[in-house]
Amino acid sequence: MKETRSTCPYCGVGCGVIIESDGTQITGVRGDPDHPANFGKLCTKGATLHLTAAPGIARQTRLLRPMRRLQRGLAPVAVTWDAALDLAATEIGRIVRTHGPDAVGLYLSGQLLTEDYYIFNKLAKGLIGTNNVDTNSRLCMSSAVSGYKLTLGADAPPACYDDVNHAQCLFIVGSNAAYAHPILFRRIEAAKQQNPAMKVIVVDPRRTDTAELADLYLPLQPGTDVMLFHGLLHIMLWEGWTDAAYIAAHTSGFHELKALVRDYTPERVAQICGLKHDDLFQAAQWFATSAATLSLYCQGLNQSSSGTAKNATLINLHLATGQIGRPGAGPFSLTGQPNAMGGREVGGMANLLSAHRDLANPVHRAEVAALWGVPDVPSKPGKTAVEMFQAAADGEIKALWIVCTNPAQSMPDQALVRRALQRAEFVVVQEAYATAATCDFADLLLAATTWGEKEGTVTNSERRISRARAAVPPCGDARHDWRIAVDVARRLEGQLRPGQPSLFPYETPESIWNEHRESTRGRDLDITGLSYAMLESAGPQFWPLREGEPTGKARLYEDGVFPTADGKARFAALPWKPLAEPREARFPFSLTTGRLRDQWHGMTRTGTLGRLFGHVAEPAVQLNPQDMERRGLKDGDLVYVTSKRGSIVVPVQSSAALQPTQAYIAMHWGAEYLSGRNNKGEPLAGVNALTTSAHCPTSKQPELKHAAVQILKAELP
């Protein structure tokens, strides 16, 4: 038996796994006792990874070879790799020559490895000449990026998992860590058990399993987070709980914020947030006066039309109270996906460049162009996720290359996404799973390797970089994502820059890593001291880890110096804004979406295992018992859930976790479970038939956490 150390491919906790195999088949998996993210523990999803790789399941679900669809609507046929790669390069080259580079869009995934991400980003921005390269991480954490940059000056979570053990107050907001980050949540439970004096505050419209741990639960109304944070600051100021010395020495912009929060009186905040006056005071006191306060937050803040404001105004509280830069203190965003962080690091988004550089900065563009050996990097902003599919639906983007993600299920406003996929002239889907709904729209399917077969690196929520390693050979004829990208890039170079040396000389993931590493020199995430050899010998490492340093930094800003022009963190004086789509008479319920404990994204992997349906077996829309009674509904009744964009049919279920007028559907269920129609009668599926593509103007992250809906009993024939 062979044992291979790697990383779990599900959530951003980034647990280490030991893959057991016979060299050709994966036979088992267990937690890596030496990995600092999990110390040997695994949640249900991680502990069943090997079962999802069983040959019987792979035969039914994996895309085993490249395929081409000769005509839309027909079944795809197998082609050779050479034919597939030639076709990709020929069609993309044709579209670039005919319509310009911005007629191409690449849509990537937080589940790609850092090395994959690096190549795709270089291919789009350095070779094709478009910044239209974005990722499903846009749906996951782009508001956290913009919140950090606006206030702290850099996209760098300042805390680490160990801070859970040092905190005296945990402020968990917009995060059901019990389901979405289970192994981190076990660490939180253990910390609370060891230190019962630690106060846990949970802020969430839904009383989740995470809220069961709370000393104080704040069931705020959806979309009122900024109102709450300003209200807490108002109380802290009134009670003298802010840290004047920290504010004076290490921050700027406090006067503007102080003037703004004057109007956020406890009475007004309590009324708009739907919270008790006393609870606001209690939360403010615990947050401000504890010896160390750590905030943990996730999609409840990020997936919002005010996502940046929610992140930034929470960080305001840490700056105003000096709760940052010490063990157990700081604002700590949790990433949903296993390598959303790595994607940010290589600049794999429409507005970013390598090593946390900004596309809008001409100096940064020149640095990256010099590094890549190209004349320039285009300055025109690229299309972010929603904008990219809108541009394809409008006929502006003609070629879509979708890698390791399933927008035909996961993007909001599915009617728009379907129009985009149907209108684009050429759709390439690079995927490990033939069962992903987006495959149905592909002109060309490129079979990709996945967990257990790939080599590279990932970065977890706490800035810790780990190796992903291959335990077995690729399934079928599948190839590695970086390899496919390099092979298409080399063919495109023959058309777009003939006769010049290749920009893509890579033959191993390590050679890509080495170039990425060099790109970080002198940047906030400098990893010039981190090599594959060091990851091999010393295990996972935090960034930054500069050349000559023995280890990376677990905590940032301990010296109170921030990466801004004057070295000071900036307060964000941003007012509260209502939801993009508030409830109204025709749509009187607030629908929110969320995760189940034992499922992952669109279930292409977890949905293959019967045992992972033991926790929740089928989809349902959950309603408060009072709403059930008022509408004459009982558990199991079928209802239409209808938004302005479409309607789905789903069983209803009573849940005291929800407040009246709120509704909840887990985001995982796709076409096999939830069918529906849009307003034109066209077929749609899943909860994203209902959600809105309204998004935060700064982070461009869509408001997946809220849509106004109507819920009516289905009158079935």
Q: Which residues bind ligand SF4 (CB under 6 A)?
A: 8, 10-11, 13-15, 38, 42-43, 45-46, 181-183
Please identify, using beta-carbon distances, which residue of 451 and 532 lies nearer to ligand SF4.
451
Pairing of strands 444-447, 67-68: antiparallel
Smallest gap from Cβ 16 to ligand SF4, in A, equals: 9
- C-alpha to C-alpha distance for 458 and 12, rounded to whole angstroms: 10
Q: Which residue has the tokens 């003939």?
A: 498
Please identify, using beta-carbon distances, which residue of 184 and 377 lies nearer to ligand SF4.
184
- C-alpha to C-alpha distance for 388 and 403, rounded to whole angstroms: 14
Amino acid at residue number 45 = K
Smallest gap from Cβ 9 to ligand SF4, in A, equals: 8
Q: Which two tokens stand for residue 619?
A: 């989809």
Smallest gap from Cβ 344 to ligand SF4, in A, equals: 18
Cβ-closest position to ligand SF4:
46
Smallest gap from Cβ 177 to ligand SF4, in A, equals: 9
Smallest gap from Cβ 483 to ligand SF4, in A, equals: 25
The closest alpha carbon to 675, from 280, 409, 307, belongs to 409
Are residues 208 and 657 in contact, defined by beta-carbon separation less than 8 angstroms?
A: yes
User: Running DSSP on this structure, what letter comes out for residue 125?
Assistant: I
Smallest gap from Cβ 182 to ligand SF4, in A, equals: 5
Q: What are phi and psi of 50, to 5 degrees?
A: -60, -30
Pairing of strands 104-108, 399-403: parallel
- C-alpha to C-alpha distance for 129 and 156, rounded to whole angstroms: 28
Please identify, using beta-carbon distances, which residue of 41 and 570 lies nearer to ligand SF4.
41
**β-sheet bridge partners, residue 108:** 135
Q: Extract the runs of DSSP E, i.e. beta strands, from 104-240.
A: 104-108, 133-135, 169-173, 199-203, 216-218
- C-alpha to C-alpha distance for 566 and 549, rounded to whole angstroms: 26
Question: Cβ neighbours of residue 100 under 8 Å, at least 6 residues apart?
Answer: none
Are residues 42 and 17 in contact, defined by beta-carbon separation less than 8 angstroms?
A: yes
Please identify, using beta-carbon distances, which residue of 30 and 65 lies nearer to ligand SF4.
30
- C-alpha to C-alpha distance for 633 and 4, rounded to whole angstroms: 52
Please identify, using beta-carbon distances, which residue of 112 and 183 lies nearer to ligand SF4.
183
Amino acid at residue number 605 = R
Please identify, using beta-carbon distances, which residue of 8 and 488 lies nearer to ligand SF4.
8
**DSSP for 41-88?**
---HHHHTHHHHT-HHHHHHHB--S-EE-SSTTSPPEE--HHHHHHHH
Smallest gap from Cβ 363 to ligand SF4, in A, equals: 37
Smallest gap from Cβ 596 to ligand SF4, in A, equals: 12
User: What is the Cα Rg of the chain in Å?
Assistant: 24
- C-alpha to C-alpha distance for 41 and 47, rounded to whole angstroms: 9
Cis peptide before 544 (omega within 30 of 0): yes
Question: Cβ neighbours of residue 481 under 8 Å, at least 6 residues apart?
Answer: 112, 113, 116, 120, 403, 404, 430, 448, 449, 454
Q: CA angle, 140 as apex, 138 and 141 as ends, to 5°?
A: 80
Residue 499 gets the label, from left (phi > 0), alpha (psi -120 to 50) or beta, of left
Please identify, using beta-carbon distances, which residue of 539 and 651 lies nearer to ligand SF4.
539
Helix (H) or strand (E) holding 261: helix 254-261
- C-alpha to C-alpha distance for 121 and 481, rounded to whole angstroms: 13
Smallest gap from Cβ 674 to ligand SF4, in A, equals: 23
Please identify, using beta-carbon distances, which residue of 461 and 662 lies nearer to ligand SF4.
461
Please identify, using beta-carbon distances, which residue of 266 and 338 lies nearer to ligand SF4.
338
Smallest gap from Cβ 272 to ligand SF4, in A, equals: 35
- C-alpha to C-alpha distance for 143 and 700, rounded to whole angstroms: 8
Crossing angle for the helix pair 266-273 and 225-239, to the nearest 10 degrees: 160
Smallest gap from Cβ 581 to ligand SF4, in A, equals: 31
Please identify, using beta-carbon distances, which residue of 206 and 464 lies nearer to ligand SF4.
464
* Cα atoms in the 13 Å half-sphere on the side-chain side of 480: 23
Smallest gap from Cβ 113 to ligand SF4, in A, equals: 15
Please identify, using beta-carbon distances, which residue of 68 and 186 lies nearer to ligand SF4.
186
Smallest gap from Cβ 181 to ligand SF4, in A, equals: 6
Please identify, using beta-carbon distances, which residue of 398 and 467 lies nearer to ligand SF4.
467
- C-alpha to C-alpha distance for 409 and 136, rounded to whole angstroms: 12
The closest alpha carbon to 318, from 91, 428, 159, 426, belongs to 159
Please identify, using beta-carbon distances, which residue of 448 and 468 lies nearer to ligand SF4.
468
Amino acid at residue number 116 = D
Please identify, using beta-carbon distances, which residue of 42 and 280 lies nearer to ligand SF4.
42
Please identify, using beta-carbon distances, which residue of 298 and 317 lies nearer to ligand SF4.
298
User: Running DSSP on this structure, what letter comes out for residue 329?
Assistant: B
Please identify, using beta-carbon distances, which residue of 46 and 66 lies nearer to ligand SF4.
46
Please identify, using beta-carbon distances, which residue of 11 and 569 lies nearer to ligand SF4.
11
Smallest gap from Cβ 51 to ligand SF4, in A, equals: 14
Smallest gap from Cβ 112 to ligand SF4, in A, equals: 16
Smallest gap from Cβ 188 to ligand SF4, in A, equals: 12
Q: Extract the runs of DSSP E, i.e. beta strands, from 230-354.
A: 251-252, 293-297, 330-333, 352-353
**β-sheet bridge partners, residue 271:** none
Smallest gap from Cβ 46 to ligand SF4, in A, equals: 2
